[in-house]
Amino acid sequence: MESDFDYLIVGGGAAGLSLAYAIAQEPRLQHKRILLIEPQAKNQNDRTWSFWTDEPTPFDGIVAYEWSKLAFRSPGYEQVFAMKQHRYKMIRGLDFYQFVHAALQAAPQVTRVTGTVESLENTAAGVSAHTSAGHFTARYAFDSRPPRLEKDLAKYRYLLQHFVGWEVETDHDVFDSTTVEFMDFRGEQHQEARFIYVLPFTSRRALVEYTLFSAEVLPTAEYEAALRSYLSETLGVQQFRIEAVEQGAIPMIDHPLPARVGQHIINLGTRAGRAKPSTGYAFRRIQAHTQRLVAALAATGHPSEDLTGDKWQFGLFDTLLLDIMQRKGESTRAIFAQLFQKNPLERILFFLDERTSWLDNLRVMNSVTPWPFLRSIGHVLRGRPGRR
Ligand SMILES: Cc1cc2nc3c(=O)[nH]c(=O)nc-3n(C[C@H](O)[C@H](O)[C@H](O)COP(=O)(O)OP(=O)(O)OC[C@H]3O[C@@H](n4cnc5c(N)ncnc54)[C@H](O)[C@@H]3O)c2cc1C
């Protein structure tokens, strides 16, 4: 096998496969030789990706479910919103892996190797990688290995979006299959942000997740108790079968995650900060990053200087929300309730996608009680994260 390539893609998960697929689809990059290195077979349904979008995606053909209504619930305020511009969609991990693997199989310029990258370095001509499958060189590397962080608790905020989800089947009609339960905050908060999230597939089948925004994961039994209590007390379901389980923890942090290391190593996915710090949503941000990278590579042969297009004001909003969650997690539910009560749904979704104007950002800020934010601005100005 040859050992020199144009592009080396490290990791074949969401970000690595999205990039490989987009390069293979771009006619101006057909002559590039790509090596994709990934240790796992990726033949398990290890996660589902959900996201909202107002435009077609390259993966619309494998969208398993799609919804046009979204519910928000808290003790003082509940609403079911009909989406106007957006749709909420779900893709199963396994469908995504199989779809991209098949497309890459038909792309002669892509070589897939099973292996682990042990070290990756910039050189004068590109990159050099030592891997369990041999030594490789390339002009650019795109690295999606999970980031390893030295936490600096005195400077940054570290939370997780963590959850356990059950795909359940019931004997009676229980779920409204037209409406995603986006955030149901009616349960106990225990000084944290805790909510139930439901993706209903049919009136008898749904993915029900107990989700938290907090610093520490819980013992599995605590998520399970909350799921049982939601099913029996909120939905009145006594009998159900658990058909599948999903468990995860996504970083929600303001520790900088650089988009580039030196001249030739470009980070991808979670490693490049594509998990939105204040929500944990990453799939759409990974797609936007991919599009941006491929457009620059196709037009100029190089990644652009501004790799992500991130705008500082949205980073500040994320930090403020993380600061509040870290300091007084239970106030998160009131902030989200005010957001949903006082803004059109589309504005909230565009805001979370970092696509709102300055004027709409002001409207969003104006819709929430200012005090927690002013306190957290104080922490940001002093450079010290808030603590409980
Ligand atoms: C259970 C779960 C559910 C999620 N659900 C959603 C959702 O609904 N919506 C949403 O927007 N986001 C969601 N996310 C967040 C995010 O979209 C995913 O974590 C996404 O997979 C991140 O993509 P990635 O490429 O950065 O990481 P991954 O998809 O994890 O890919 C990284 C790859 O790198 C490989 N790798 C690791 N070490 C090496 C090495 N040394 N050499 C080579 N390869 C290596 C791994 O095997 C892996 O395949 C979810 C996350 C989890 C964990």
pLDDT tens for each residue of 183-218: 999 999 999 999 999 999 999 999 999 999 999 999
At 189, is the secondary structure helix, strand, or coil? Answer: coil
Atom nearest to 15 CA in ligand 1: 25
Residue nearest to atom 34 of ligand 1 (CA): 11
32 to each of 7, 8, 26, 298, how far by Cα in Å? 7, 11, 10, 10
User: Residue 60 C-alpha to ligand 1 middle, in angstroms?
Assistant: 20
Q: Is the CB of 40 under 6 A from ligand 1?
A: yes
Q: Which of 36, 38, 164 has most ligand 1 atoms within 8 Å of CB, for mutation?
A: 38
Architecture of domain 158-252: 2-Layer Sandwich (3.30)
260: burial class by Cβ within 10 Å (0-12, 13-18, 19+)?
middle
Using the predicted structure, report yes or no on whether residue 1 has a pLDDT greater than 80. Answer: no
Residues in contact with 381: Cβ distance below 8 Å, sequence separation at least 6, in sequence order: none
Going by alpha carbons, the residue nearest to atom 38 of ligand 1 is: 145
Is residue 281 very low, low, confident or very high in pLDDT (cuts 50, 70, 90)?
very high
Residue 2 has pLDDT above 90, yes or no: no
Kindly report the CATH number that applies to the domain delimited by 4-63+93-150+255-300. 3.50.50.60
* Structure confidence by residue, pLDDT tens digits, 100-139: 999 999 999 999 999 999 999 999 999 999 999 999 999 9
- DSSP-derived 3-state class of residue 238: coil
Atom of ligand 1 lying closest to residue 268 CA: 26
**Closest ligand 1 atom to 40 CA:** 47
| Residue 116 CB less than 6 A away from ligand 1 | yes
Average pLDDT value for residue range 52-76? 97
What are the tens digits of pLDDT across the range 157-170?
A: 999 999 999 999 99
pTM: 0.97
Mutate to test the pocket of ligand 1, among 8, 66, 144 (most ligand atoms within 8 A of CB): 144
Whether 240 lines ligand 1, by a CB cut-off of 6 Å, is no
Say what the pLDDT of residue 363 is. Answer: 98
Please work out, in degrees rounded to the nearest 5, the angle formed at the alpha carbon of residue 269 by the alpha carbons of 148 and 53: 145
Residue 14: CB within 6 Å of ligand 1?
yes
